[in-house]
Protein backbone atom coordinates (compact mmCIF):
# COMPACT_ATOMS: atom_id res chain seq x y z
CA UNK A 1 0.00 0.00 0.00
CA UNK A 2 1.33 3.43 -0.97
CA UNK A 3 2.09 5.97 1.71
CA UNK A 4 -0.29 8.88 1.94
CA UNK A 5 0.59 11.87 -0.23
CA UNK A 6 2.59 14.30 1.98
CA UNK A 7 0.64 17.29 0.65
CA UNK A 8 -2.57 15.63 1.83
CA UNK A 9 -0.97 14.99 5.21
CA UNK A 10 0.00 18.67 5.49
CA UNK A 11 -3.48 19.73 4.35
CA UNK A 12 -5.14 17.48 6.94
CA UNK A 13 -2.90 18.60 9.80
CA UNK A 14 -3.18 22.27 8.87
CA UNK A 15 -6.96 21.95 8.67
CA UNK A 16 -7.09 20.45 12.13
CA UNK A 17 -4.68 23.05 13.50
CA UNK A 18 -6.72 25.89 11.99
CA UNK A 19 -9.97 24.55 13.45
CA UNK A 20 -8.41 24.21 16.89
CA UNK A 21 -6.72 27.60 16.60
CA UNK A 22 -10.04 29.18 15.67
CA UNK A 23 -11.67 27.72 18.77
CA UNK A 24 -8.82 29.01 20.94
CA UNK A 25 -8.88 32.39 19.19
CA UNK A 26 -12.55 32.79 20.00
CA UNK A 27 -11.82 32.46 23.70
CA UNK A 28 -8.78 34.74 23.50
CA UNK A 29 -10.63 37.39 21.47
CA UNK A 30 -13.29 37.45 24.16
CA UNK A 31 -10.56 38.31 26.68
CA UNK A 32 -9.78 41.44 24.63
CA UNK A 33 -13.45 42.43 24.47
CA UNK A 34 -16.61 40.32 24.87
CA UNK A 35 -17.92 41.60 21.52
CA UNK A 36 -14.72 40.99 19.52
CA UNK A 37 -14.79 38.40 16.74
CA UNK A 38 -11.81 36.01 16.70
CA UNK A 39 -10.50 37.10 13.30
CA UNK A 40 -10.24 40.70 14.42
CA UNK A 41 -7.74 39.83 17.19
CA UNK A 42 -5.06 39.33 14.52
CA UNK A 43 -5.81 42.76 13.07
CA UNK A 44 -5.50 44.35 16.49
CA UNK A 45 -2.19 42.57 17.15
CA UNK A 46 -0.87 43.60 13.72
CA UNK A 47 -1.68 47.27 14.34
CA UNK A 48 0.05 47.10 17.73
CA UNK A 49 3.25 45.91 16.02
CA UNK A 50 3.01 48.59 13.30
CA UNK A 51 1.48 51.75 14.77
CA UNK A 52 0.80 54.31 12.06
CA UNK A 53 0.02 51.66 9.44
CA UNK A 54 -2.56 52.35 6.75
CA UNK A 55 -5.63 50.13 6.38
CA UNK A 56 -4.66 49.29 2.80
CA UNK A 57 -1.33 47.86 4.01
CA UNK A 58 -3.10 45.71 6.61
CA UNK A 59 -5.50 44.39 3.95
CA UNK A 60 -2.66 43.64 1.54
CA UNK A 61 -0.53 41.90 4.18
CA UNK A 62 -3.49 39.77 5.31
CA UNK A 63 -4.57 39.03 1.74
CA UNK A 64 -8.11 40.27 2.39
CA UNK A 65 -10.28 42.83 0.69
CA UNK A 66 -10.38 46.46 1.64
CA UNK A 67 -14.10 46.21 2.47
CA UNK A 68 -13.36 43.42 4.96
CA UNK A 69 -10.58 45.35 6.67
CA UNK A 70 -12.77 48.45 6.70
CA UNK A 71 -15.52 46.55 8.58
CA UNK A 72 -12.99 45.14 11.05
CA UNK A 73 -11.49 48.57 11.68
CA UNK A 74 -14.92 50.13 12.13
CA UNK A 75 -15.66 47.50 14.78
CA UNK A 76 -12.32 48.04 16.53
CA UNK A 77 -12.88 51.80 16.47
CA UNK A 78 -16.46 51.45 17.79
CA UNK A 79 -15.13 49.32 20.66
CA UNK A 80 -12.58 52.01 21.51
CA UNK A 81 -9.59 49.76 20.74
CA UNK A 82 -8.21 51.50 17.61
CA UNK A 83 -7.95 55.14 16.65
CA UNK A 84 -7.52 56.67 13.21
CA UNK A 85 -5.44 59.77 12.53
CA UNK A 86 -5.11 61.67 9.27
CA UNK A 87 -1.98 60.77 7.30
CA UNK A 88 0.13 63.95 7.21
CA UNK A 89 1.54 62.88 3.83
CA UNK A 90 -1.88 62.17 2.29
CA UNK A 91 -4.95 63.79 3.82
CA UNK A 92 -7.19 61.19 2.15
CA UNK A 93 -5.49 58.39 4.08
CA UNK A 94 -5.65 57.45 7.73
CA UNK A 95 -3.05 56.00 10.04
CA UNK A 96 -4.05 53.39 12.59
CA UNK A 97 -2.91 52.91 16.17
CA UNK A 98 -4.19 51.23 19.29
CA UNK A 99 -5.84 53.33 21.94
CA UNK A 100 -4.52 52.98 25.50
CA UNK A 101 -7.56 50.76 26.17
CA UNK A 102 -6.73 48.66 23.10
CA UNK A 103 -3.12 48.25 24.24
CA UNK A 104 -4.17 47.22 27.75
CA UNK A 105 -6.73 44.70 26.53
CA UNK A 106 -4.38 43.27 23.90
CA UNK A 107 -1.63 42.82 26.49
CA UNK A 108 -4.01 40.83 28.71
CA UNK A 109 -5.09 38.66 25.80
CA UNK A 110 -1.48 38.08 24.74
CA UNK A 111 -0.73 36.86 28.25
CA UNK A 112 -3.61 34.39 27.98
CA UNK A 113 -2.55 33.30 24.50
CA UNK A 114 1.06 32.86 25.59
CA UNK A 115 -0.05 30.80 28.57
CA UNK A 116 -2.18 28.64 26.31
CA UNK A 117 0.74 27.98 23.94
CA UNK A 118 3.18 27.40 26.79
CA UNK A 119 0.86 24.78 28.23
CA UNK A 120 0.28 23.13 24.84
CA UNK A 121 4.01 23.02 24.04
CA UNK A 122 5.26 22.36 27.55
CA UNK A 123 6.92 19.06 26.67
CA UNK A 124 8.72 20.36 23.58
CA UNK A 125 12.44 21.07 23.72
CA UNK A 126 13.66 24.60 22.96
CA UNK A 127 15.37 23.51 19.74
CA UNK A 128 12.13 21.83 18.60
CA UNK A 129 10.23 25.07 19.23
CA UNK A 130 12.79 27.11 17.30
CA UNK A 131 12.59 24.65 14.40
CA UNK A 132 8.78 24.77 14.44
CA UNK A 133 8.83 28.59 14.44
CA UNK A 134 11.26 28.63 11.51
CA UNK A 135 9.18 26.14 9.52
CA UNK A 136 5.97 28.07 10.23
CA UNK A 137 7.64 31.29 9.06
CA UNK A 138 8.77 29.50 5.91
CA UNK A 139 5.25 28.17 5.33
CA UNK A 140 3.72 31.61 5.89
CA UNK A 141 6.12 33.18 3.39
CA UNK A 142 5.40 30.47 0.81
CA UNK A 143 1.63 30.84 1.22
CA UNK A 144 1.86 34.64 0.98
CA UNK A 145 3.94 34.38 -2.19
CA UNK A 146 1.49 31.89 -3.68
CA UNK A 147 -1.47 34.17 -2.90
CA UNK A 148 0.28 37.11 -4.57
CA UNK A 149 0.82 35.05 -7.74
Q: Which residues lie below 8 Å from residue 99, measured CB to CB, with a gap of 6+?
A: 80, 81, 82, 83
Closest CA to 76 of 33, 117, 115: 33
Burial class (CB in 10 A: 0-12, 13-18, 19+), 39: middle
Residue ranges with strand state E in 29-119: 53-54, 82-87, 90-98
Cβ–Cβ under 8 Å, residues 32 and 103: no
Q: For the chain, which domains are there?
A: 6-122 (1.10.10.10)
Quick one: pLDDT band at residue 2, thresholds 50, 70, 90? low
Residue 124 has pLDDT above 90, yes or no: yes
Burial class (CB in 10 A: 0-12, 13-18, 19+), 49: exposed
- pLDDT at position 57: 92
Cα 144 → chain centroid: 14
pLDDT in tens, 77-115: 999 999 999 988 887 888 999 999 999 988 888 887 778
pTM higher than 0.75 for the full model?
A: no
- pLDDT at position 50: 95
Residue/partner pairs of 61-64 with CB below 8 Å, 24 or more apart: 63/144, 63/147
Amino acid sequence: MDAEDPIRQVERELGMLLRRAHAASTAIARKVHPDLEPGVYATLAYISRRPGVRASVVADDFGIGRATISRQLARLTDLGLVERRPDPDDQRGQLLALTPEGTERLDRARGARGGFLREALDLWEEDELRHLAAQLARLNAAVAASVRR
